[in-house]
Amino acid sequence: MPFTVSRLSLSGLLLFEPHHFQDERGWFAEQYRHSDFVRAGGMEQFVQDNVSFSVHGVIRGLHYQVDPAEQAKLVAVLEGEVYDVAVDLRIGSSTYLQWTSVLLSAERGSLLYIPAGFAHGFAVVSETAVISYKCSAEYEPACERGIRWDDPTLGIEWPVTSPIVSPKDRELPLVAELLHGKQPVSEDPADLELPSVPDPSIGAGSPSSYRSSEPYSLPNATSRLGGSP
Catalytic machinery residues: 63, 133
Cβ–Cβ < 8 Å for 228, 211: yes
Identity of the residue numbered 11: S
User: CA dist 220 to 45, 57, 121, 163, 194, Å?
Assistant: 37, 9, 19, 12, 34
Q: Report phi then psi at 39, rounded to 5.
A: -60, -35
Buried b (16+ CB within 10 A) or exposed e, 81-103: bbbbbbbbbbeebebbbbbbbbb
Q: Could you tell me where the DSSP H helices lie in 95-229? A: 167-170
- The Cα 79–Cα 183 span in angstroms is 32
